Structure 1
Amino acid sequence: MRYAYRVETVRTAERELMARLPEGMLMRRAAAGLAAACRGLLGRTYGARVVLLVGSGDNGGDALYAGAELARRGAGVTAVLLSPERAHEGGLRALRAAGGRAVGGVPSEPYAELIGRADLVVDGIVGIGGKGGLRPVAVELTDLVRDAGVPVVAVDLPSGVDADTGEVNGQAVRAGATVTFGTYKPGLLVDPAHEHTGAVRLVDIGLDACLPRAADMEALQHADVARLLPRPGAESDKYRRGVVGVAAGSGTYPGAAVLAVAGALRGGAGAVRYLGESESVREQVIRRFPETLLTQGPVRRAGRVQAWAVGSGLGDGSAARELVADVLTADLPVLVDADGLRLMDVSAVRERTAPTVLTPHAGEAAALLGRGREEVEAARLASVRELAELTGATVLLKGSTTLVADADRTKPVRVNATGTGWLATAGSGDVLSGAVGSLLAAGLDALDAASVGAYLHGLAARHAAPPLTAMDVAHALPHAWQSVTN
């Protein structure tokens, strides 16, 4: 599991650790890790040209000490000081003593030429406490870096992004790599800030012992998913493994039913029961997946079911609305997706005592929150939290970094980054809804089912050959299982 903590928590832990260490030791640990990462990216250090963009405070100090280490190994290191009077004194002395140089204040040389000749730029402008976009002088410098196409390594996080929320309010550095210290910060894992980080490397500085057990954000890894996946035992039968009911599709969108059933069959439950009134859709489902159990009529007479997935491709109309309302009356875990999100009564969701999972994309989340899609995409972490509180449900907010939030704010938000842009294809969400519904039926709680389903769904897309279709993703789900469990 990867854990991420808010800035306030990190600062408290750093103060506790610094009280146990010799003065300056924590910064030197961070700088050593940063310098090692820079050496790895450079390939050769001797003779390399490195430019440090240095702001005030400890973030700039980390960059200066790392620059000193690179200079001692033969790199030509120049620090551009954005606030010369507030530059970290110890770091600046160390850089100069190692043979590096510093420039700043009124431009004394053509920075465009300096940056254009660099092999690497180190972004030490703003630390994790920064809010808002870059200041004009920083924007000018980072524009030069962008135009020159020089690789950038960010110190702790790219300058201009919000460490706590992942929001980007203004211009921010786009790094090829980010070296973060002690622990991950939420902004490194959440879009839109995640788009600015490049590859993220965590440097151990001894902070773990000072951090609380409960993180603000979690990201599952292979081992976590393998531990949570349902596995049949010697005495298992299809009913003990769980039966997921799928209420999806319509005459207008018959493929949604087929895709949701496909995801459900590969999601871990023992059987899939399809509920639908359209004879043509039922025929398509059973023709494609003859192992599916078919049923009609009200939910209470559908037969044995341990969880429901409802909403994909239901379309409009009173019958679809009544079906969603009927499913929500079941005293069973329920997943609501797509059209179901638009047709459901939020108050009915809030009144449920059994687990509920909602799986909106940004546009659907915006409609439920009564705001614009752009607002949700700019503040994904805040939006998923707010929607979970509004509905009392577990919310899976789909996107390039999928977020899963429980209505209980004491539980960490989970972030999933296994997805790929190839998942932006019609029907992939239907496959996801079936897979998560199946995991609910197999006995996983709402948070685990949603986050494990998203993990496998993204991994399956990586196993499928692009350009992929939604059915390719469904077919690749067993490969995703194998890659996690082997």
Structure 2
Amino acid sequence: MRHAHTVAQVRDAESTLLASLPDGVLMQRAAVGLSHAIIDFLGGIYGRRVVLLVGSGDNGGDALWAGAHLARRGARVHAELLAERVHPAGLAALRAAGGTTSDGSAQIGDGSRRVSDGSADVVVDGIVGIGGRPGLAENAQRALARYAGVPMVAVDVPSGVEVDTGQLPGAHVWADLTVTFGTYKVAHLVAPAAAACGAVHLVDIGLDLPPSAIRTLQRDDVARLLPRPGAHSHKYTRGVLGVRAGSATYPGAALLCMDGANQGLAGMLRYDGAAVDAVRTRHPEVVGGGRVQAWVVGPGSGADAEAALTACLADRVPLVVDADALAFVTAPLEVPAVLTPHAGELARMLDVDRGEVEEAQLHHAREAASRFGAVVLLKGPRTVIADPSGEVLINTTGVPWLGTAGAGDVLAGVIGTLLAAGLMPWEAAGVGAWLHGAAATRAAADGPLTASVVAATLRPTIGDLLHPGAERA
């Protein structure tokens, strides 16, 4: 798993490591890693013009030392100093290596001269680091405006973001690449700040960090968690999923939900709903009512949603609650459950504005998980999966094309089949979201997506995880 740590955790680890190292070694590790990442980003460095935007903290020191390394390799490096005092050793090193500097610390209205014509091959954001307050000073905003359109590399995090929440409460840097040190931070993974980070490159500087409450599943984690039949397994021991989805108005939702569920990961699928003829025509393996190990309820259920949810809850088995059925979740559930709202649905459940949910996704997903006693999967560009314990998974697979009608119905089916097969709710949600996003990414290579195309790509995506490196006919 990939862990994302808070500022306090990183500071504690840095303090411990600094006590065992000669002065300046940790910053040198960061600066060397940063300089190599910039070289890779540009595809070479000799003769390139590099502009550093430098603030007062160690973040600015990292940028200055990296600039010194780049200048010694033939780059033309210029630092705009945005604070009255910057890291003295880093500044001396940059000047000794042939880098130039100018004073960009003056505020608007003091008559300071324009320090650059805005031309550069890359701008390095060393304005504020993980300890900085959200937002940017006016002189920093003015400096960034001069370099609009120039590729931006952020040091540790884009300046101005809220590091521990992933929020963007004020002016901030939009980076093409963020080079971070020791560990990922929350803002690298959680939307909307994750979008401001661009690609994220991690430099190992030797920090010893504890487990984190915010993580992402990686390919190997998903492969390990996928259910596999044993030598003596049969259709009942492998899990039976029931689906109550679709209606006379929305029969397609039932079909898409069954498309997601019918990937072979569970032993049997049962369907109970208004679209039974269409479901059985498309999926002849599906049978009628009976005992199940898990339910999916809500996709396209319309006016039947409340009754369907009540019937599912009466069975006392785990369930996935999606779409129309979410409106009837008003109190903690008494069975293990995964709720799968998008931002608008979660806003209604919490009685807040949709914009509030979108701006503070981590906070609201956690609040909902605690309030309803269930795993909450908040769908979005970076899907947030919150457990009532406070543990969070962030899903990083997928493409923008996945924002298409019916994709959520497919996802609910995938999660349901994993739940029936025996995964814990947070595992089923995390693995299901990863598979759904990975299938979308794979399918998008051939063009725009529909939910049906994503569902059709799930099985080969799963096959690649179960049999890595196997030759395909």
Secondary structure in structure 2 of the residue aligned to 1:9: helix
Secondary structure in structure 1 of the residue aligned to 2:131: coil
Q: State the alpha-carbon separation in 1 of the partners of residues 442 and 38 from structure 2.
A: 31
In the other structure, the counterpart of 1:284 is 278
| CA deviation vs aligned residue, 1:209-237 (integer Å, no higher than 9, x gap) | 2x11x203111111000000001112111
Secondary structure in structure 2 of the residue aligned to 1:238: coil
| CA deviation vs aligned residue, 1:36-75 (integer Å, no higher than 9, x gap) | 0011122222211100000111000000000010011111
The code of the aligned residue for 1:439 comes to: L
| CA deviation vs aligned residue, 1:400-434 (integer Å, no higher than 9, x gap) | 0001010012x3x1000102111111110000001
Q: How does 1:262-281 map to 2 (within 5 A)?
A: 262-266=259-263, 268-276=265-273, 278=274, 281=275
In the other structure, the counterpart of 1:86 is 85
Q: How does 1:123-142 map to 2 (within 5 A)?
A: 123-142=125-144
In the other structure, the counterpart of 1:246 is 243
Report how far residue 108 of structure 1 moved: 6.9
Q: State the alpha-carbon separation in 2 of the partners of residues 86 and 267 from structure 1.
A: 63
| CA deviation vs aligned residue, 1:269-306 (integer Å, no higher than 9, x gap) | 11110011x3xx111111111111123xxxxxxx1211
Report how far residue 102 of structure 1 moved: 1.4
Report how far residue 95 of structure 1 moved: 0.6
The answer to which structure has the higher helix fraction is 1
Identify which of 410, 414, 419 aligns with 2:393.
Answer: 414
Identify which of 365, 377, 385 aligns with 2:346.
Answer: 365
Q: State the alpha-carbon separation in 2 of the partners of residues 267 and 408 from structure 1.
A: 31
Q: State the alpha-carbon separation in 2 of the partners of residues 44 and 419 from structure 1.
A: 31
**Contact 1:167–1:378 (8 Å) recurs in 2:** yes
**Contact 1:325–1:345 (8 Å) recurs in 2:** no
Q: State the alpha-carbon separation in 2 of the partners of residues 18 and 59 from structure 1.
A: 16
In the other structure, the counterpart of 1:323 is 308
**Contact 2:333–2:372 (8 Å) recurs in 1:** no
In the other structure, the counterpart of 1:27 is 27
CA RMSD, Structure 1 to Structure 2 (Å): 1.3
Structure 2: unaligned runs, 5 residues or longer: 469-473
Identify which of 117, 141, 145 aligns with 2:147.
Answer: 145
Report how far residue 334 of structure 1 moved: 0.8
Report how far residue 180 of structure 1 moved: 0.2
- Specify whether residues 186 and 260 from structure 1 end up closer, same or farther in structure 2 by C-alpha distance, changes over 3 A only: same
Secondary structure in structure 2 of the residue aligned to 1:368: helix
In the other structure, the counterpart of 2:167 is 167
Q: State the alpha-carbon separation in 1 of the partners of residues 259 and 229 from structure 2.
A: 20
Report how far residue 119 of structure 1 moved: 0.8
Q: State the alpha-carbon separation in 2 of the partners of residues 325 and 112 from structure 1.
A: 66
In the other structure, the counterpart of 1:111 is 115
**Contact 1:422–1:466 (8 Å) recurs in 2:** no
Identify which of 272, 284, 287 aligns with 1:293.
Answer: 287
In the other structure, the counterpart of 2:94 is 95
Identify which of 443, 447, 466 aligns with 2:422.
Answer: 443
Q: How does 1:375-390 map to 2 (within 5 A)?
A: 375-390=356-371
Identify which of 322, 336, 347 aligns with 1:337.
Answer: 322
In the other structure, the counterpart of 1:299 is none
Identify which of 292, 296, 319 aligns with 1:305.
Answer: 292
**Contact 2:320–2:340 (8 Å) recurs in 1:** yes
**Contact 1:164–1:187 (8 Å) recurs in 2:** yes
- Specify whether residues 346 and 329 from structure 1 end up closer, same or farther in structure 2 by C-alpha distance, changes over 3 A only: farther
Deviates more, 1:430-439 or 1:329-338: 329-338
**Contact 2:251–2:300 (8 Å) recurs in 1:** yes
Report how far residue 345 of structure 1 moved: 3.7
| CA deviation vs aligned residue, 1:179-227 (integer Å, no higher than 9, x gap) | 00000001111111111111100000000x2x11x20311111100000
Percent identity (aligned):
55
Matched, 1:217 2:237: no
Q: State the alpha-carbon separation in 1 of the partners of residues 160 and 213 from structure 2.
A: 21
Q: State the alpha-carbon separation in 1 of the partners of residues 250 and 37 from structure 2.
A: 51
Q: State the alpha-carbon separation in 2 of the partners of residues 268 and 364 from structure 1.
A: 29
Q: State the alpha-carbon separation in 1 of the partners of residues 12 and 151 from structure 2.
A: 32
Q: State the alpha-carbon separation in 1 of the partners of residues 461 and 336 from structure 2.
A: 26
**Contact 1:152–1:177 (8 Å) recurs in 2:** yes
In the other structure, the counterpart of 1:432 is 411
Q: State the alpha-carbon separation in 1 of the partners of residues 306 and 291 from structure 2.
A: 23
The code of the aligned residue for 1:111 comes to: V
Q: State the alpha-carbon separation in 2 of the partners of residues 407 and 43 from structure 1.
A: 45
**Contact 2:162–2:187 (8 Å) recurs in 1:** yes
Q: State the alpha-carbon separation in 2 of the partners of residues 256 and 111 from structure 1.
A: 59
* Count of residue pairs the alignment pairs up: 460
Report how far residue 109 of structure 1 moved: 5.7
TM-score by length of 1: 0.93
The code of the aligned residue for 1:87 comes to: V
The code of the aligned residue for 1:305 comes to: V
- Specify whether residues 345 and 166 from structure 1 end up closer, same or farther in structure 2 by C-alpha distance, changes over 3 A only: closer
In the other structure, the counterpart of 1:36 is 36
The code of the aligned residue for 1:120 comes to: V
Q: State the alpha-carbon separation in 1 of the partners of residues 53 and 313 from structure 2.
A: 55
TM-score by length of 2: 0.95
Report how far residue 245 of structure 1 moved: 0.4
